[in-house]
Amino acid sequence: MSFSRRDFLETSALSASGLMLAGFTSPLDALASPTKPGSDSALSDAGAVKARLKFSMNQDWQFFRPAEANQAEKPMLPPSNAVWEHANLPHTVRLEPRDVSGGRNYQGVCWYRRSIAAPAEWKDRIVYLKFQGAMQVADVWLNGEHLLTHYCGYIPFTIDLSKHLRFGSANELIVRLDNSDNPEVPPGKPQGELDFCYFGGLYRSVDIEVMHPVHITDPILANSVASGGIFVTYSKAATDSSTVDVQTQIANESDVLRTVTVTQQLVNPDGTIAATRADKVSLEPRKTFVTRQQLQVTNARLWHPDNPQLYWLHTTLAENGSVVDDQASRIGIRSIHFDKDRGLVINGEPFFSIGANRHQDHPYVGYALPASAHFRDAYKLREAGFTSYRSHYPQDPSFMDACDELGILAIVSNPGWQFMGNDVFKKRV
């Protein structure tokens, strides 16, 4: 079955599970669609998925882009007479010509704004605002208070709103974006000289997460080398017996000592339980703590481009028998290394991979792609026989998920190409 780009984008391409394309069959018939924790066939504790609340912020934005003739002024806040238009995410700063090479895409400032309702019951909880991608320098205000300036539009950033929200009332969020040429912001090279375009807008998802004071940390906000959130490695990957090493950073943002049970439950692709490990830890007030746990997996189903088997790792934190936080991570058990004589070696066997470069933009809409379009790009690459890709920058999470599902290796570069700026640029890279 073949779809044109237009046919695909005009149809509902993803199933409700978000794993497979409606009307498409995977190029790998053996591809297993893992069961998500919380379903009857995976985990019995259905209430655990309610411990952390997550809300999409992709709807009901307002957008303002000034006339291009006024771009020399570049004010920080939008003018009082701004005429706002409705916008949903992902959103592009403007509809571009089909060919924008040579810097013909829009460059300058724009603003987004949105109301955030914060129920009174959130007052004693932790509230994160999470941006997956905002091109390219982002300034964020809440209720008139400037909270952050973020540089580089290809990586996510998280803001802790817990101490800034007005609970029980509406809050005004304003985001200012500027994608002008800037030699101190990756990729740094002027758009007119760059061999790819970085467009503009809030082009990836925005979410709010509401958590218990004892919770798994955010890997970006934690800003810890090889830590933050859940970090999974494999000290042994073999079909007879594999070892999954799980490192979890936990924060106790309360004023009292807390004792929690950290449980790792590994769920097979068919929904059965592959391994479980639980440990009790004590958490000092206002401190973070890192747990390290090992799961032994017999008859492991190893991930490989020709057979991309995926597991769910369900991590829960429980206090006095009640789950206070949980996260589900999809993982593939595998070993990958390079050998000077054998080349690329996956799970102990040489593997010859054919790859392509992938950019995340499409004609007219720039970077503002739905998850279905990212999946389609990965699907078409795999259908053509590619088992690896590289890029000039980190990709959208939905594209990375598709690579995991379809059997594509990723070489993810720092943002940039043929440019090395000053010390500020190097630090931001």
> pLDDT digits over 156-208, tens only?
999 999 999 999 999 999 999 999 999 999 999 998 888 888 899 999 999 99
Q: Is the pLDDT of residue 44 over 60?
A: no
All residues at 6 or more sequence positions from 67 whose CB lies less than 8 Å from its CB, including other chains: none
Spacing of C-alpha 416 from chain mean position: 19
Q: Return the residue matching tokens 């004792």.
A: 259
Q: Which two tokens stand for residue 289?
A: 């703590």
Prediction pTM value: 0.87
d(CA 290, CA 349): 34
Span 278-315, pLDDT tens digits: 999 999 999 999 999 999 999 999 999 999 999 999 99
Percent of the chain with pLDDT over 90: 77
Q: Are 406 and 379 in contact (CB under 8 A)?
A: yes
Q: Which residues contact 4 (CB under 8 A, 6 or more apart)?
A: none
| pLDDT score at 72 | 67
- Between 35-49, 168-182, 276-290, 411-425, the lowest mean confidence (pLDDT) is in 35-49
Spatial contact of 244 and 250, defined as CB atoms under 8 Å apart: no
Residue 12 has pLDDT above 50, yes or no: no
pLDDT computed for residue 75 by the predictor: 85
pLDDT confidence band for 51 (50 / 70 / 90): confident
pLDDT at position 67, please? 81
- Flag whether pLDDT at 86 surpasses 70: yes
Say what the pLDDT of residue 50 is. 63
Spell out the SS3 assignment of the chain: CCCCHHHHHCCCCECCCCCCECCCCCCCCCCCCCCCECECCCCCCHHHHHCCEEEECCCCEEEECCCHHHCCCCCCCCCCCCCCEEECCCCCCCCCCCCCCCCCCCCCEEEEEEEEEECHHHCCCEEEEEECCCECEEEEEECCEEEEEEECCCCCEEEECCCCCCCCEEEEEEEEEECCCCCCCCCCCCHHHCCCCCCCECCCCEEEEEECCEEECCHHHHCCCCCCCEEEEEEECCCCEEEEEEEEEEEECCCCCEEEEEEEEEECCCCCEEEEEEEEEEECCCEEEEEEEEEEEECCCCEECCEECCEEEEEEEEECCEEEEEEEEEECCCCEEEECCCEEEECCEECCCCEEECCCCECCCECCCCHHHHHHHHHHHHHCCCCEEEECCCCCHHHHHHHHHHCCEEEECCCCCCCCCCHHHHHHC
pLDDT category of residue 263 using cuts at 50, 70 and 90: very high
Instruction: Please report which confidence band the pLDDT of residue 33 belongs to, taking 50, 70 and 90 as the band edges.
Output: very low
Structure-token match 């740094």, residue found: 188
Least confident of 37-41, 178-182, 396-400, 425-429: 37-41
CA 157 to chain centre: 10
Q: Quickly state the pLDDT bin for 97 (edges 50, 70, 90).
A: confident
User: Which residue, chain included where needed, has tokens 């008139």?
Assistant: 144
- The mean per-residue pLDDT over the stretch 233-240 comes to 96
What integer pLDDT is reported at residue 197 of this predicted model?
86
β-pairing, 273-283 with 258-267? antiparallel
Confidence band of 136 (pLDDT split at 50, 70, 90): very high
Location of structure tokens 């912001």: 185
Q: Please compute the mean of the pLDDT values over residues 405-424 and round it to a whole number.
A: 92
Top-confidence range, 3-12, 39-48, 336-345, 410-419: 336-345
Q: Give tens-digit pLDDT for 340-398.
A: 999 999 999 999 999 999 999 999 999 999 999 999 999 999 999 999 999 999 999 99
How far apart are alpha carbons 232 and 36 in whole angstroms? 18
What pLDDT, on a 0 to 100 scale, did the predictor assign at position 13?
34
| Mean pLDDT lowest among 22-26, 248-252, 315-319, 364-368 | 22-26
Predicted confidence at residue 100, as pLDDT, reads 83
Cα–Cα distance for residue pair 413/411, rounded to 1 Å: 6
Q: Residue 8 — pLDDT band, cuts 50, 70, 90?
A: very low
